[in-house]
Structures are given as C-alpha cells and as structure tokens.
Amino acid sequence: MKKGICFVVVLGFMACTMTDKKEKNVVTSDIDLFWAAYDKVITETDSLKQVDLMDSLYLQKGSPGLDAMVQARNYTAAEYVALINRYPKYWESIRANTLKAKNLSKELQECVDRLKQLYPELKPAKIYFTVGAMRSGGTAVDSLALIGSELAMADSNADISEFEGRSKQWMEFILQTEPLQNLVLLNIHEYVHTQQKPISDKLLYRALYEGVAEYISVMAMGVHSTTPAIAYGKNNPKVKEKFEAEMFYERTYDWLWSNSPNEFEMRDLGYYIGYSIAEGYIKKSADSLKAIKTLIELDYKEENKANQIIDASGFFSKSIDSLMRYDKQKRPKVATVEPFENSAKAVSPQTSEIAFVFSEPLNGYHTGVDFGPAKKALFPKILERKWSEDHQKWIVEVELLPNTHYQMLLSTNFRTEQNVPILPYLLDFKTAAE
C-alpha cells in the first residue's frame, strides 16, 4: 500500500503537505483564551480571585472541546491556578509553541484525508487544541479529538527546573518523546479513537484499542511510531512474556497511562502489545483495507470476536483461550466459605462470622471487597476484618438480617506475596426467616 510522508516546514516536524483547503474542523480558540486568562491570573495576588478569573475567562468561555477535556480529566479552575503558581517558568517556556497551533489546520486536514484513503468510512470529527492541567497530552471523547497543548506542544526548550521527584521524571520522559515534533501523529492517533467503539475496562482490550489507533495512524502518515514503549517492546521479548502472564490481572496501571514503576522502567508498554497485534493482523490479512475496517469498527464488548482477531495476529505464544485457562489454573482462588456454602438459601441470621479460605496463603494485607451485581442484594454489615495466622483465611465479623439476600464480591486486590491476584469471587446467599 502506498504511504505518504508528511512535513510541516513551518514547525520543522513531520506533518502533511500544505493544501488550499480551508479546514473548519480544527479549533484552536482555546489557546488564546487560556493565555488571556493566564495574563490576568499572574497579576492577581488573591488566590480566590485567581480561581475566579481562570473559571470566568477560560473554563466558562471555552469551546465544546475544552468542556469535554475538563469533563474527561476532571480539571478544575483551582488546579489550573495551582499549576500556574507552582511552575511559572514552564508555562512561559511553552507559550510560544502553543500559539503555533493555528498554523496546523491545513496540514492536519491533509493527514485526515490520507486516513480516509485507508478507511473510506471515516466519519467527520473535530480536533480541539486545548490547554489542560498537565494530565493529558491527548484523548478522544465521542467525535472530538482533544489535544492538551501544554504537554503535546512542548519541546526541548521547555523549562522543567521547577519540577521535582516523580513529576520531574514524568516531564523528562515526555520531553524525550519530542511531543511537538510528533504533534500531527498524536492528532491522527486521537482522530482514529473518535472512530472506534467505546473502550473496554479489561487490560487486553484496552491495549488493543490504543494499539489499533497507533498502528493505523502511522500507516496513514507513513512514519514510524514515536512511542518509546513500542521500540522497547520489539527489542525485549520479556515484555510479551510478562504481559501474557498478567493480561488477565486487569491491573491497567502497570501497562497503560501511568508512571507506576515496573521492572522494565518503561511506561505504557501496553501500547506495544496492542500495536503488535494490529500490525500482525493487518499484515497477515489478504485484504489490508478490510482488516483496517475490522479493527477500527471492533466492538470490544464482543470479546469472542476480539479474541479471534488477536489470535489471527499470531502475536501471542498461544491462543487467548489457552492462556486464559492457564491463568485460571495458576491463580489463587477462594476454595471454600465457612460456615455455609456459597449460594446457600437459608443461612442463619445469627451467623456472626464468615470466613473465606483461599487455595494458598496470601500476603495478609491487601484486601478488596465490593457490592455484587444484583441491585436488590445487600452488602453485609461488616464489624471487623482479620486474617488467620497463616494468611490463608480471611474472616469478617458480620451482622445479618433475617430473610435477606446478600452479595459480597472479593476483588483481585487480594494477592500473594508475589503480587499474583486471586480470581474474583462472588459470595451470594440468603438468610432464613426468624
């Protein structure tokens, strides 16, 4: 398939050839709004008035894209003001870059046109350049591609001298990826997200969701991915091995969207997993355009269909079903419940303790309980929680009512010393009438 390489001469980075087409679907008005509010905020010494200025001059006047970004990340005027006051050197160092956003409209449209060549069913979407509160360089909400310009338009000239600890490490990582140089690629990645079905809450499918957007965006632009995790994963087979062992643990923070420490010292390695699955699936397909359509339109609620695509990519060492069966065999689980069996229909309401006996000892401090799926079922009133000395039994002191349906879900937060989580366990029972 013919691929095109796009260049933005004005900014000195890859984008798309200039066109005469006036693009109305790239909105940059929030950039100017932010800096107008910023200039007022930094001249005000009263913190409450600063918050009011940021709210009235920026958040209340912003575009639908800004509204969506604020909702998606729960940004507040107070958070903006705190960041402005804490990192003044950083804000001043990125200001000129963010003002270049309005030069990108035509270039972005050309790249969207190339994406449409790969996926003719491409639906219209708007790209909004917003200024966020340093927690997202880009995301997508429905038909809106949202760019956090304060991160996505930074470069090596950004002054991060005021940052400390983990925050500084994160900023250093971001700047190493040369976000400004790769801004158009980020936009097209987020544009692909606007075409996809809602994201799953399961790690494997979340990785696929991100990987599909990344691989198809680099196909459209004819460039290599600039996400460090992808190059790292391709050169380190242990990443796939580790993911195969953990993909059903559902701990997203180890693999996506987090600075959580891991043994590879590389964040977002889930992007590599999803990227490789998408790459394998398309390359093995006899009709690449049909494969692209299948990936973009995949409904992540249809897990069997998603698993068929993953298996067809040939990426993992075994089929998803085989890996899932092995996972269930190796994971610790609730072996028995005392003093009654699960699903019991006439438990004495005088029962004062419920004990969960695990198939092996756990670490004795991580726990996690939640409501069950039945809306009318009650969660037992828990008076006290304790572990057995060998950490193989977890006991809760309860207060039960007669003739009542109860549910209690033990989550994967229960885990072994080796950090292996239990299989989730739903306790469901009814008490007898007095």
Average confidence score pLDDT of the chain: 91
Strands 7-8 and 13-14: antiparallel
Domains and CATH numbers, the chain: 1-195 (no CATH), 197-330 (no CATH), 334-430 (2.60.40.1220)
Q: Give the per-residue pLDDT at 2.
A: 34
CA distance 244 to 236: 14
Q: Provide mean pLDDT across the span 131-136.
A: 94
The predicted structure's pLDDT at residue 173: 86
d(CA 200, CA 211): 13
- More confident call, 23 vs 168: 168
User: What secondary structure letter does DSSP report for 56?
Assistant: I
For 361-415, the pLDDT digits (tens) are: 999 999 999 999 998 899 999 999 999 999 999 999 999 999 999 999 999 999 9
**Cβ-proximal residues to 254 (8 Å cutoff; 6+ apart), any chain:** 246, 260, 262
**Alpha carbons 277 and 314: distance in angstroms, whole number:** 8
How many CA atoms within 13 Å lie on the side-chain side of 377? 19
For residue 4, what pLDDT is reported? 39
pLDDT of residue 16 exceeding 50: no
Contacts of 63 (CB under 8 A, 6+ apart): 27, 29, 30, 128, 130
Q: Does the structure show a pLDDT above 80 at 22? A: no
Is it the case that residue 359 has pLDDT exceeding 70? yes
User: Average pLDDT in the 101-129 region?
Assistant: 90
The per-residue pLDDT for 348 is 97
Q: What is the per-residue pLDDT across 338-358, written as a single tens digit (0 to 9) for each?
A: 999 999 999 999 999 999 999
Give residue 55's pLDDT band: very low, low, confident or very high (50, 70, 90).
very high
Write the DSSP string, 344-395: -S-B-TT--EEEEEESS---SS---EE--S-TTPBPPEEEEEEE-TTSSEEE
What pLDDT sits at residue 178? 86
Mean local confidence (pLDDT), 52-60: 98
Give the span between the Cα atoms of 189 and 112, in whole angstroms: 10
Residue 7 has pLDDT above 70, yes or no: no
* Tokens representing residue 419 in the block: 């950090």
Retrieve residue 288's tokens.
């690449």
- 144-185: per-residue pLDDT in tens? 999 999 999 999 999 999 999 989 988 998 898 889 988 999
Q: Residue 328's closest CA among 307, 353, 359, 302?
A: 359
Check whether 432 has a pLDDT greater than 90: yes
pLDDT digits (tens, 9 = 90+) for 272-282: 999 999 999 99
Answer yes or no: are the C-beta atoms of 429 and 344 closer than 8 Å: yes
d(CA 220, CA 15): 11
Helices (H), 235-351: 237-246, 269-284, 288-296, 303-313, 320-330
Q: What percentage of residues in the chain have a pLDDT greater than 90?
A: 81
pLDDT level of residue 292 (50, 70, 90 thresholds) = very high
> What percentage of residues in the chain have a pLDDT greater than 70?
94
Give me the pLDDT at residue 12, please. Answer: 33
Residue 24 is predicted with a pLDDT of 66
Residue count (the chain):
434
